[in-house]
Chains A and B, each alone.
Chain A
Amino acid sequence: MVPSVADNAPVFLWSGATLLLMALITWRAAFTHLKHRRAATRVMESFAERFISEFERPLRQPGSVERPLEARMRLVLRRRRVDILLAPNGGRSYPNLTDHRKNMAYDVGRVVGLIADTRFTTGDVYAHGRWVVVPCRLTTEPAEEGGT
């Protein structure tokens, strides 16, 4: 005798509910992960943008529209790290580590001091091709969406 669907209804019901619950838990975990990832990305990008802007500000020349430096950012979310890559632009020579290592160390300290974001730490700058790389690391959990 083949059991009818009606006989197995509780089993199906429980299985369905369990699956739904698992899907909900997975979805929530993924959502939370993505939210944190998005928040971390935003915080790191914002820090890098502020860093680049302040680094660049004193180097701008009156009457010149050309940017004094080229800048990129490289996010390694897994390690909560943002690398800020800087290179001279428009025939200039700064930043570079060949003859400006001391000036770079001063300037990174100056900019970090001005931004005053204690969630970040910076590592030793190093050269990568024509770029000077300033490694920065986010050390605390970023605030939820809408937070600071």
Chain B
Amino acid sequence: MNILLLSLGGGGGAILRSVKALFRRDLMVTQKADGKYADRLRRAVSTRFLDTNEFSLTDIPREERLLIGARTTGLLGARHDPQVAAQALEESRAEVEALLSEYSVVFVIGTGGKGTGAGTMFPVVQMAREQRKLVVPIFVRPSFDRHEVEKRRYDHALRVIEQFDHAKIRLIEILNDRGYEESDPQPQAVVWERMNLPIARGLRGLIFVLSDLSQVDPSDLATLFAGEGRLRLGFSEIDPRPSEEPSDEMIDEAIRTCWRNPYYAFERQTGTSLVCIQGDWSNIADAKIKSRLAALAVGSHADSPYTPLYARSLRAPRPWGITALFAEYTGTHTPLAVDWGVDRSATPLLPAPVPLQRVPALGDDQEATPPPSVVAPSASTEAVVTPDALPSFSTFWDFAVAINRADRAALKLAGTADVDSLAIDGGEVKKLLGTVWFRAVVPGLSHAWRDRVLEALVEHAPIPNHRVKLDGRGVLLSELTHAQLNDIVKRTYLPDLARADADLLVNVGRLWGADALRRFHFADASPNGERSKLGALLHGLRE
């Protein structure tokens, strides 16, 4: 998958220069530790600097420049006028659209201070959305109170942000006001580095996930980015001694740093979020990271919508740490239709030290990854589906994916009571319930289908009756109400196996109601209510 980092105007260009420098530094470190990994990162990312003023791009390699509106501006800039910049973009629309079409994921970076960034930010993001790209807008709200811009320009920046909200496009909004700390005054260059570091480091983690979709279900990403609201990048390093586990203090500090990023606008509760963990430590450390981050995200809200998507890099070179992309919860939204399938050559971020060749993906030695479930169907595929065509799905998984794509035939079947037309494998349902996108599909099924899906799940296999801690005492999963399960999943450390089963029950309770939990059969895990370690390992192999 190819990722484009695209800056708009002078302000966006300054940020991208800084991000690129930090990223290059990371790549050089990575190159020494793991050349293949560095090469993958290098080839996955391209940078382009869009501007209306050719003089502001003189330090940028020619192949990375994208000058727009030659006739409108004479390549002398937008005269600090967003309207002129918008006209320049319109003049060069075909060129910009052609560039966007080459990438699957586009990060668009702009500032609202003057002309080009403010005038092109929203239209460029819209172009990328229209091409079904996964687009991550990063927009800087300038500081009016600190005299960065006059009020007229500040208000224009706010209108750009309102356009995003109105169009239900999520964005990362950076508040320059927060860069001024009375208690810790610093030169502007230091402040910029401080503000840009989480972007550069965060992008490194995200790029790893996005360039290797076996790490996370693409449909989950399509859910994360759906709807309006803000996104917040978080990054923190964890640097344990070789062959040692990170200490609790290290983890606590990393979690706090990752969670607290004061430069971003982020007001509401945290919803679906992506958490990438990089580091060769045990799953115990992973579990601590997950549970402590969840505790911060959930806070004191009993009904918190926090839904973490975890991605794990087992062989990532240092610096290790946690990268997170938190999304504000703004309700339930239909997942975005994203075209993940494009894979063309990209301009490398750094000159490749070796001839370009296919480097095995990190997941190559793992089980083959199923094709992404949210792939924009080609025009010809859509054309052959007629309203009355008999739907034919080989598995329930295919059926669910088709519903998620809003396939007309699948939606029609999902609304009927014709539940015998398809065999449902309970094991498959169990796996599907672990994905965010499928949980958004279930409410759209008819009652008959929902009953049938639940029945298949219940009949699949009894659930191991794990013993878990509730208010300091041990209780069996079967004895817990849905509310108690919810609370335990969010607040308590659970071994992976117990967590998976508890998560399943919580999701069933959410989707089918608390009473549905009574239909499940529970099996004693072991005489003392817990599996042996060997049993747990074997269970892991069987999964």
Report the bound CA distance from A63 to B177 in whole Å: 12
Which of A7-15, A101-109, A135-143 forms part of the interface with chain B?
A101-109
Q: Which of B144, B150, B152, B267 contacts A63 (CB 8 A)?
A: B267
Contact B151 A62 (CB under 8 A): no
A107 touches B175 (CB 8 A): no
Is B37 at the interface (CB under 8 A from chain A)? Answer: no
What's the minimum C-beta distance from B473 to chain A, rounded to whole angstroms? 39
A62-B265, A62-B266, A62-B267 known; A107 vs B151 contact (CB < 8 Å)? yes
Residues of A within 8 A of B237 (CB): none
| Complex Cα–Cα for A117 and B182 (A) | 41
Contact of A118 with B by CB under 8 A: no
The residue on B at minimum CB distance from A63 is: B267
Residue on B with the closest CB to A93?
B145
Q: Which of B144, B177, B265, B267 has the most CB of A within 10 A?
A: B144
Does A4 make an interface contact (CB < 8 A)? no
Q: Which partner residue on chain B sits nearest A102 by CB separation?
A: B150
Interface of A is mostly: loop
Contact A61 B177 (CB under 8 A): yes
- Smallest distance from the beta carbon of A15 to chain B beta carbons, Å? 68
Interface residues of B in 132-154 (CB under 8 A from A): 144-145, 147, 150-152, 154
B523 within 8 A of A: no
**Which residues of chain B come closer than 8 Å to A100, judged between CB atoms?**
151
Say yes or no: A92 contacts B151, CB within 8 Å: no
Q: Which residues of A contact B177 (CB under 8 A)?
A: 61
A124 to chain B, nearest CB (A): 18
Contacts of B173 in A (CB 8 A): 62
CA distance A100 to B147 in the complex (A): 9
Interface size on B, residues (CB 8 A): 17
Known contacts A62-B173, A62-B266, A63-B265; A106 and B145 CB within 8 A of each other: no
CB within 8 Å of B: which A81-121 residues? 91-94, 99-100, 102-103, 106-107, 110
Q: Which residues of B contact A58 (CB under 8 A)?
A: 154-155, 158
- What CA separation (Å) do A66 and B423 show in the bound complex? 58
Tell me the residues in window 325-354 of chain B with beta carbons closer than 8 Å to chain A beta carbons: none
Which B residues touch A102, using CB under 8 A?
150
* Pair B175/A103 contact, Cβ less than 8 Å: no
From A62, A63, A94, A107, B145 is in contact (CB under 8 Å) with A94
CA distance A58 to B150 in the complex (A): 13
The answer for the CA separation of A63 and B328 in the assembled complex, in Å, is 12
Query: Distance (Å) between the CB of B157 and the closest chain A CB?
Result: 9
Q: Measured between C-beta atoms, what is the minimum distance from A48 to chain B in Å?
A: 20
Bound form: Cα–Cα A92–B158 in Å = 19
0/1 string, B166-185, CB within 8 A of A gives 1: 00000001010100001000
Taking the closest CB of chain A, its distance from the CB of B161, in whole angstroms, is: 10
A110–B265 CB distance below 8 A: no
Contact mask for chain B residues 514-526; partner A; CB cutoff 8 A; 1 contact, 0 none: 0000000000000
A91 to B154, CA, bound (A): 19
Interface residues of A (CB under 8 A from B): 58-59, 61-63, 91-94, 99-100, 102-103, 106-107, 110
Given contacts A59-B144, A100-B151, 19 further A-B contacts (CB under 8 A): A58-B155, A58-B158, A61-B175, A62-B173, A62-B230, A62-B265, A62-B266, A62-B267, A63-B266, A63-B267, A92-B145, A94-B145, A94-B151, A103-B144, A103-B151, A103-B152, A106-B151, A106-B152, A107-B151
B interface with A by C-beta (< 8 Å) = 144-145, 147, 150-152, 154-155, 158, 173, 175, 177, 182, 230, 265-267
Closest 9 pairs (CB-CB, A-B): A62-B265, A103-B151, A63-B267, A62-B267, A58-B158, A92-B145, A106-B152, A106-B151, A107-B151
8 chain-A/chain-B pairs, Cβ below 8 angstroms = A62-B173, A62-B266, A63-B265, A99-B147, A102-B150, A103-B144, A107-B151, A110-B155
